[in-house]
Structure 1
Amino acid sequence: MTTSALARAPRLRADPLAVAALFGALVSISAGASFAKGLFPAVGPEGATALRLIVSACLLSVAFRPWRTLGRRDWRALLPYGIALGVMNLAFYKALSFIPLGIAIAIEFSGPLAVALLTSRRKADRLWIALAVAGLALLLPLWSGAASLDPRGVALAAAAGACWAVYLLAGKRAGEDHGIAAVAGGMAIAAAIAAPVGIIHAGAALLRPEILLLGLVVGVVSSALPYTLEMIALPRLPTTTFGTLLAAEPAVGALIGLVALGEALAPSQWAAIALIVAAALGAALTGEGAKAEPHG
């Protein structure tokens, strides 16, 4: 398409399938987080994380059989992706035991936001990132009540954000090199990390039928489905566009919390949602047409 045609009829330049897959993943993750809270009283965040990742790894392994396509060298290459995935989930679920879901998501988003900023090449990217930052500033209780946030929760959410940044970069390369098998392989590695932690913390409670059933639901909705959708999106979107589109997650999480958990939002939080969604839409409308080369 020529420049004049673009000027006459702006259109979504990022891959529509990739954008749809990514937003589907965000909705699924937020919905799964609301289900996972039902596991906390019985098995704690550690047990919930272990169940989530074990169920996801089993389902994805049956579906995609990574052992048939991944060699020993491939498994080694997937280690950064899988380790980041496992630690990210453990840190984020543990953070939820200290601080609210919306705050944890906003802090965790600092990871992909940093990736978007560091990989930005154009002025338009910086505009959408600035809008996302402004929205996140409104979501966080920076001006009142910040001192009431448990520092353990803030630190854990920030650690999850750092792991999310690694996942973003390592996952893009893994998806380009191994396709959908990378999701199953990375999830198996993540489950191997989380399982011992969950078993030590929750023990035999993990085997109760009602816990296993809810764990199955959480595993499918929180991990198997969204990470598969993200792996579809990662190779098709430039890193900056992907990272900025993820700015919609706090907004999606707030809306899921309102519908599923009855969490009311303040006017400033609605304003934050508007800014974050504007950043996400702007990134989609002006994203580069070609996918970015992986950064080495």
Structure 2
Amino acid sequence: MTIPAASTDDNPRTRAAGRTEPASAGDATQSRSALVGAGAAFAAMVSVTIGATFAKLLFPVVGAVGIAGLRIGLGAVMLLVVLRPWRRRVPRSLRLGVVIYGITLGLMNMLIYQAFARIPIGLAVAIEVTGPLGVALVGSRRMSDLGWLALAVIGLTLLVPRVGEAVLDPVGVAFALASGLCWALYILAGKHVAATLGSDAVAWGMLISAVVFVPVALGQAGPALVSPHVLMIGIAIALLSSALPYSLEMKAMQRLPAAAFGLLASASPAVAALSGFLVLGERLTLSQWGAIAFVMAASAGCALTVRPAPVIEDLPVA
């Protein structure tokens, strides 16, 4: 979401004074705002990654499905308390779209946590990011956009192990790809409902996701999922993975152009890989780091150059 900069005539202080601020002052204000936005975007990335990294530490206790369901349930409670979406009625025509949005949101989280359980976090995020990248490139006919797609394909190809290298768990790779597909569907469904509901769409989506997937998590993890120790860590994970990054991303998107926000977001695989190394001791091979670099380059290039495709606007989500 790109927020246009306010003109000097909209500034009450300058109207009251009957003059406009010097251009240098306005430029300095915009620079500070952009710096705050960039810091918020990076902090959101770090927050999500730390949340995922510490969630992986709980996998031996309650399993990937259990901790994903716990994150969804607690995240839903936090967003409902903060946003209070019940104050605005969901139109009947949007209810099916909200249900689809919530299910894809929950499924995306469940699948990526299954990938985290099998392959390094940085690689899982790099594979998952190809989902929204594909959405951005659908319908494009420009050669430069096809070039970004080629970079992503090269990156995925580099994940195929060479002779003597350890083989990535194919089930983990499949879960990451499936999560990327759900991320793409989540974007399309979210665009459909957010146009009317705004930020309330996230809260309703998380609630639906919790209703569907928390019972699944309880069924697999059992009583351990609601033990005080796991609940306390789960609250921290939900805060780091849902409530805090959501707030930071809203702040970033209010201060940064969409291209700049997308460029910063393209660094998420590297941030995830670094977090996995520092906290979990996950070491990547040179070719795997190369794969992450190619996917990041494709995402960054797409964010900076791709044009909105009309076909995306008209895709049905229900």
Q: TM-score, normalised by structure 2?
A: 0.74
SS of residue matched to 2:118: coil
> In structure 2, what is the equivalent of residue 128 of structure 1?
148
- Asked whether the 8 Å contact 2:161–2:168 carries over to 1, the reply is no
SS of residue matched to 2:313: coil
Q: Which moved further from structure 2: 50-59 or 272-281? A: 272-281
For structure 2, which runs of at least 5 residues remain unmatched after alignment? 1-32
Say which one has the larger Rg: 2
- Asked whether the 8 Å contact 1:245–1:279 carries over to 2, the reply is no
> In structure 2, what is the equivalent of residue 60 of structure 1?
79
CA distance in 2: counterparts of 1:176 and 1:201, whole angstroms: 36
- Tell me the number of residue pairs that the alignment of Structure 1 and Structure 2 aligns: 280
Q: Which moved further from structure 2: 207-216 or 18-27? A: 18-27
Cα offset, 1:62, TM superposition? 0.5
Q: Which moved further from structure 2: 41-50 or 123-132? A: 123-132
Matches within 5 A, 1:168-187: 168-187=187-206
- Asked whether the 8 Å contact 2:122–2:274 carries over to 1, the reply is no
Pair 1:101-2:121 in alignment: yes
Change (3 A) 1:89 1:135: same
SS of residue matched to 1:265: coil
Deviations 1:156-179 (A, max 9, x none): 222212111101211233333221
> In structure 1, what is the equivalent of residue 130 of structure 2?
110
**Aligned partner (choices 224, 232, 257) of residue 205 of structure 1:** 224
- The residue identity in structure 1 corresponding to 2:97 is A
> In structure 2, what is the equivalent of residue 6 of structure 1?
none
Deviations 1:98-126 (A, max 9, x none): 33323322332332232233143543333
CA distance in 1: counterparts of 2:189 and 2:37, whole angstroms: 18
> In structure 2, what is the equivalent of residue 3 of structure 1?
none
Pair 1:167-2:149 in alignment: no
CA distance in 2: counterparts of 1:154 and 1:267, whole angstroms: 18
Deviations 1:239-285 (A, max 9, x none): x9988875433222112222332333333334334434433443444
- The residue identity in structure 1 corresponding to 2:127 is I
Change (3 A) 1:95 1:280: closer
Aligned-pair Cα RMSD in Å? 3.5
> In structure 2, what is the equivalent of residue 152 of structure 1?
171
- Asked whether the 8 Å contact 1:129–1:279 carries over to 2, the reply is yes
Cα offset, 1:135, TM superposition? 3.0
Cα offset, 1:48, TM superposition? 0.1
Change (3 A) 1:94 1:83: same
Q: Which moved further from structure 2: 128-137 or 169-178? A: 128-137
Matches within 5 A, 1:135-284: 135-138=155-158, 140-144=159-163, 148-227=167-246, 247-284=266-303
> In structure 1, what is the equivalent of residue 66 of structure 2?
47
Deviations 1:206-261 (A, max 9, x none): 221110110001111112233455677789977x9988875433222112222332
Q: TM-score, normalised by structure 1?
A: 0.79
- Asked whether the 8 Å contact 1:251–1:276 carries over to 2, the reply is no
SS of residue matched to 2:279: helix
For structure 1, which runs of at least 5 residues remain unmatched after alignment? 1-14
> In structure 2, what is the equivalent of residue 7 of structure 1?
none
Matches within 5 A, 1:51-90: 51-71=70-90, 73=92, 74-90=94-110
Change (3 A) 1:253 1:162: same
Change (3 A) 1:25 1:48: same
CA distance in 2: counterparts of 1:289 and 1:164, whole angstroms: 18
- Asked whether the 8 Å contact 1:66–1:185 carries over to 2, the reply is yes
SS of residue matched to 2:57: coil
> In structure 1, what is the equivalent of residue 20 of structure 2?
none
- Asked whether the 8 Å contact 1:112–1:243 carries over to 2, the reply is no
- Asked whether the 8 Å contact 1:172–1:234 carries over to 2, the reply is no
- The residue identity in structure 1 corresponding to 2:122 is G
